[in-house]
Structure 1
Amino acid sequence: MESSANPLYRCSSCRNPLALVQDLLSTNYIAKSGKAYMFQHAMNVVLGPKYDKQLMTGRFSIADIFCSKCGEELGWKYVEAYDIKNRFKEGKFILEEIKMFQQY
């Protein structure tokens, strides 16, 4: 059993660890399924090909992310921001709330 000293988020489909609670940056994002969270790092994810997309806050180059264990689409990674005010998002991960659960 994992130590409760490092609470984390897991894939709701297969329980694969996805992100540490300490890497959570914001819970104020919206994705396809609704509420989403921004993380500094994500683990056990596979990146899809990058592509450009117009999001609510501007145009970005993003890559969809998938669970490395079950293949569930979880959200996306910001690869590049085309607007300087959004550059802080580059390299960050957005995980959909409905696709994960928090374990202490």
Structure 2
Amino acid sequence: MSEFIGPRLYCCYKCRNHVSLHDDIISKAFQGRHGRAFLFSHAMNIVVGAKEDRHLMTGLHTVADIFCGDCNEVLGWKYERAYEASQKYKEGKFIFEKSKIVKNEW
């Protein structure tokens, strides 16, 4: 018999606050400010900062930095708007920098 295993969670690397589920990963092939990054469909226990336009590798986007809801560490950003049609799938999604999140006991 196998034991029940709860959802696989990602946490803030600094304070271990739960910020997203492994099942919400859309892609691991993204680039953040500090290296690899993951695109997630959902996030939790975060604070979304002010919107701003940024020129990213895939063009102009309106984004907002996302912060850990407990320790206020910058973890990545949320895509608010994509200006190119091919990038619209990112709207409402979250980038977490790989270096800013850790797996929670799995």
Separation in structure 1 between the aligned mates of residue 54 and residue 101 of structure 2, nearest angstrom:
24
**Counterpart residue identity of residue 69, structure 1:** D
Residues matched between the structures, number: 102
How far apart, CA to CA, are the structure 2 residues paired with 1:67 and 1:55? 22
Q: CA deviation at 1:32?
A: 1.1
Structure 1 residues 51-100: Cα deviation after superposition (integer angstroms, max 9, x where no partner)? 00110011100000000000000000000000011000000000000001
| Structure 1 residue 20 displacement after superposition | 0.4
Summarize the alignment of residues 1-104 of structure 1 with structure 2, pairs less than 5 Å apart. 4-103=5-104, 104=106
TM-score for both structures, normalised by structure 2: 0.93
SS, match of residue 42 in structure 1: coil
CA deviations 1:8-57 (Å, max 9, x no partner) are 10001000000001101111111111010000000011011000011001
Instruction: State the secondary structure of the residue aligned to 1:36.
Output: strand
Identity level (%): 45
Gap regions ≥5 residues in structure 1: none
Q: Which of these two proteins has the greater Rg computed from alpha carbons? A: 2
| Partners of 1:16 and 1:4 in 2: CA distance | 19
Residue 84 of structure 1 aligns with an amino acid whose one-letter code is A
Shift of 1:4: 3.0
Please identify runs of 4+ aligned residues in structure 1 that moved more than 2 A. none
Shift of 1:5: 2.2
